[in-house]
Structure 1
């Protein structure tokens, strides 16, 4: 029996746009179900928001997302966007998670970087590092921080 881990991202009204963007980067099948699809009457604030969404690609990429109901926003307040930055050779962040994409070639991962970087803030440019053939970090236009790297080839001692 096998298991998989899938990141589930929580948005505040832009889950559909985020999922559509991730599909344009990674390919695959997009599934979006709105609160209205589940029977919420038209005209209410959350009718068009995503209650469940997913992008699933044949290459193994999978991500899920939904929009936090506006009622929850009203009672908890909209969280301030956390940022991630480099300072004195260290990565500093207020975010509780990063998404990591690891591939086997510089070209394969570089192509993903080239599309994911659209509208993003680059934390660390995609380049060769001491620990990997290539590594880069960015915060996309939706506030999600991504690490993209190429698996290092290890040799037995």
Structure 2
């Protein structure tokens, strides 16, 4: 199956962010740090706990991250993590948990076409969009 995956880059706090996302969304989190790679001695000691790759998986959700950046990291607003579900209650739970320490960009509310939609910038500076398609039962 082809897919597009949200891959986030951090400045040394990838573990903290991904553990927070796991608390909010659930799922299994796998982390590999620099001390876990072959020849870890070639990296400075203060970087040993940097995350080379983090993978958070739950059902159809896949979120990846890293601390490995080879240039100055600049947070922008051109990329968002889009979290869609068909369960409104689950979407409300995700939104409320990710809202801790965040800045709201769109309140979670029903749109004029009937879907539930909202957005926020989380405490790590990442933009999230939430969507639940209107149930036409």
Normalised-by-shorter TM-score class: 0.7 to 0.9
Number of corresponding residues: 135
**After the TM superposition, which parts of structure 1 deviate over 3 Å for at least 4 consecutive aligned residues?**
none
- Partner SS, residue 36 of structure 1: helix
Taking the aligned partners of 2:73 and 2:122, their CA distance within structure 1 comes to 19
Note the C-alpha offset of 1:50: 0.2
What residue number does 1:60 align with? 60
What SS does structure 1 have at the residue aligned with 2:35? coil
Cα distance in structure 2, aligned partners of 1:56 and 1:30 = 7
Report the counterpart of residue 24 of structure 1 in structure 2: 23
Alpha-carbon distance in structure 2 between the residues aligned to 1:49 and 1:143: 18
Q: Which has the higher helix share?
A: 2
Structure 1: 5+ residue stretches without partners: 83-94
Q: Who is 1:45 aligned against?
A: 46
List runs of 5+ in structure 2 lacking aligned partners: none
TM-score (norm: length of structure 1): 0.77
Q: Distance in 2 between matches of 1:67 and 1:132?
A: 39
Which one scores higher on RCO, CA 8 angstroms, separation ≥ 6?
A: 2
CA RMSD for the aligned pairs? 1.9
Alignment of 1:6-155 (within 5 A): 6-38=5-37, 39-41=39-41, 44-57=45-58, 59-69=59-69, 72=70, 76-79=71-74, 81-82=75-76, 95-152=77-134
